[in-house]
Structure 1
Amino acid sequence: MWEYQHSAETTAAPEVLWRHWSSIAEWPRWNAGIAAIEVDGPFAAGTEFTMTPPDGEPLRMRLTEVVPGTLFTDEMDAGDFVVRTVHRLEPGEAGATRVVYRTEITGPAADQVGPQLGPAITADFPDVVAALVRLAER
């Protein structure tokens, strides 16, 4: 298994952050790692979406867990490995909200692909979380 986590605190209210997360079609507005996105349903477990990174191939993903106002998990199943990212809101220091992105790569090929693919997937997490926080704090 390969794993990585990044978090940041913000003064933005959890419901404001959640509003931006739960509007998948708007993700490219604040996430520079997404050139285009197509959603096949509501923001709920089981909904699939196709995310296209800049200069990249479209990736088919699925929401596997949604706890309104708290967390959602998306997953890309590549057969011999699965990339799973949990996006979570937690109480922070002095009334702040902590935004957490955690990615795990699991499955039979995880030890082979994780060390190369994982850092490529998660390299922009600090920038993505910072952009979300800036948007939510407006």
Structure 2
Amino acid sequence: MMYSFTEEAVITGDIDRIWAVATDVARWSEWDPHEEKSRIDGPFAAGTKGWVKPKGAPAGPFTITDVRAGSSWTSQAGIPFGKLRGHRTYEALGDGTVRVAERVEVHGPFGPLFRLVWEKGMRADMPRTFEALEKEALRRE
């Protein structure tokens, strides 16, 4: 059993700078309104583990499962009787903008509960995260 949803936005900025900000796990809480604390225990690469405390949700470990430098990355976290998978993509549109997207998948029997309890807040936070990513990437120029 799997439940998923995707949010996306087009933001202004250089894709390399946006990628650098988005993958700087240790600094997420400095700019992302969704994250309270975060860390990564090694290089930003498949197999590396990290830890995150989102606002309004329990803290926990995650593992980066796939990285395609400059274009996408995927992470996975355990939840009771299943897993939570996030896939993020970054696509330069050639006009100084970048399409950013995040797909969230809930695998296991907690999909319906996740949908009722956490999806609304998580979806509401995503546009704010995309906007904050744009601002931070521009600030780091």
> Shorter-normalised TM-score: what interval?
0.7 to 0.9
Query: Using a 3 Å threshold, how does the CA distance of structure 1 residues 109 and 52 change in structure 2: closer, same or farther?
Result: closer
Cα deviation digits, residues 57-103 of structure 1 (max 9, x gap): 32111111111101111111214222111111113374521111111
Structure 1 unaligned blocks of 5 or more: none
Indicate the RMSD between aligned Cα atoms, in angstroms.
Answer: 2.0
Partner residue, 1:2: 3
Report if the CA contact (8 A) 1:103-1:122 is conserved: no
Amino acid at match of 2:13: A
Alignment of 1:98-109 (within 5 A): 98-109=99-110
Cα separation, 1, equivalents of 2:46 and 2:104:
18
Q: TM-score, normalised to structure 2's length?
A: 0.84
Cα separation, 1, equivalents of 2:56 and 2:110:
25
User: How many pairs does the alignment contain?
Assistant: 138
Cα separation, 1, equivalents of 2:60 and 2:122:
12
Cα separation, 2, equivalents of 1:25 and 1:114:
28
Cα separation, 2, equivalents of 1:135 and 1:11:
11
Amino acid at match of 2:46: A
Alignment of 1:20-99 (within 5 A): 20-54=21-55, 56-92=57-93, 94-99=95-100
More strand by share: 2
Q: TM-score, normalised to structure 1's length?
A: 0.86
Partner residue, 2:137: 136
Cα separation, 2, equivalents of 1:59 and 1:121:
16
Structure 2 unaligned blocks of 5 or more: none
Partner residue, 2:118: 117
Partner residue, 2:13: 12
